[in-house]
Amino acid sequence: MTGLLSTASAGVGSSATASATGFDVEAVRRDFPILAREANGHPLVYLDNAATTQKPLAMIEAISDYYLRYNANVHRGAHALSDEATQAFEGARDILARFINSPASRQVIWTRGTTESINLVAATWGRANLKAGDRVLVPALEHHSNIVPWQMVAAETGAEVVAIEVNDCGEVDLTALKALLDERVKLVSFTHISNALGTVNPVAEVVRLAKSVGARVLIDGAQAVAHCPVDVQALGCDFYAFSGHKVFGPTGIGVLWGREDVLEAMPPYQGGGEMIETVSFAGTTWNTLPYKFEAGTPDIAGAIGLGAAICYLQALDRKAIAAHEADLLAYTWARAADFPGLRRVGEASQIAGVFSFLLDGAHPADVGMLLDQQGVAVRTGHHCAQPLMARYSIPGTVRASFALYNTRDDVDRLFAALEKVRGMLF
């Protein structure tokens, strides 16, 4: 898959050479105003992109422009501002549909993010289709938002949520998956790229295997969309979900994509305005897609902002971005190999965007706090992946996660700060 770094070809343990990707990262950094600030008296090194990415000025200005020039509700207003807002709002939907190669814009449903997208599928498709004896398969490396909703609907329906084993490298065990697949399996729900380890799952193969027993497939793409192109038609999945804030867009906005026939058969998620066609005390009928799943006033500014963020990303050379990010990971691994007492967690054959590690004898929370004092922002803890941490018998990790605006200098600053942390703790 384009843009994803193979461990076998990353030169782990070798001396790092100068990057020759040709990607103008300094020009990109100028588009992200926050990167120029300081944190705790030091120039900011932002390495918490798996939690949320920073925002380009073009996205910020798009939201500001909406509130300054044409703030109005969408779809039902009989005036110029409403028309302009509706055009921008639905235009953003069209942008997102093209971004993931959806056959139609009506298959793109606005949600608050990946978490709500998965809950929507669990609460509607799950309640309507799961029954006692059915199984939902979920890898043991998943984010909690792709575990707990299925447990909740399973408790209501009598279905069972079954974990797919993960190997020592942090990869889904395909042999274990094959052994679990039978007529009881109604859904396989899994992440495209792990937020905790950066593992890139073999999505096309998992979809193929699931479909061989007639199961539906949901893919959590929250970590993937910023790192690699996504083509929902080529993947062959039934649902694909992601969050705007992890692809340089606003918080509180996300997307659920679904196959049209599957979405048409699903009941609504919430009741209220917009999602209805007619309402009477004798009965109510539902609106067409996508509005059947979009009750109430939507996050208009968020959708417009996400559309602007996607336009910003697509205006860049994504192959060059991928090469740049792969170079950053290879350089990080080479630095880590020469750092005494540092242990990588997760060494899958393909990894994107994440370097998860531990320092011998140090709690991840202490390491993160001391890095923050030096202006280096990372994430520590279980990363909403407690079953995965239990698999490794660890409390959590320190996670440095990269985006297109990070540099080798950021990596050098991370390891310089880790040298000081080691001196403070030992």
Write out the catalytic residue numbers. Answer: 384
Contact 242, 254 (CB under 8 A): yes
In 10 A of CB 264, how many CB atoms? 12
Reported for 174-180, long-range contacts at CB under 8 A and 24+ positions apart, including other chains, are: 174/202, 174/205, 174/206, 174/209, 177/137, 177/206, 177/209, 178/209, 180/135, 180/137
Question: Reduced to 3 states, what is the DSSP secondary structure of residue 95?
Answer: helix
> What is d(CA 101, CA 107) in angstroms, rounded to the nearest whole number?
11
Pairing of strands 376-377, 45-46: parallel
In 10 A of CB 106, how many CB atoms? 17
DSSP-derived secondary structure for 128-192: HH--TT-EEEEETT--GGGTHHHHHHHHHH--EEEEEPB-TTS-B-HHHHHHH-STTEEEEEEES
Contact 198, 354 (CB under 8 A): yes
What sign does the dihedral 111-250-308-236 (CA atoms) show? negative
In 10 A of CB 181, how many CB atoms? 18
Which residues, listed in sequence order, are joined to residue 110 by a DSSP beta bridge?
A: 255
Reported for 331-335, long-range contacts at CB under 8 A and 24+ positions apart, including other chains, are: 331/16, 331/19, 331/408, 331/411, 332/400, 332/402, 332/411, 332/414, 333/10, 333/11, 333/12, 333/13, 334/11, 334/12, 334/13, 334/14, 334/15, 334/16, 335/16, 335/411, 335/412, 335/415
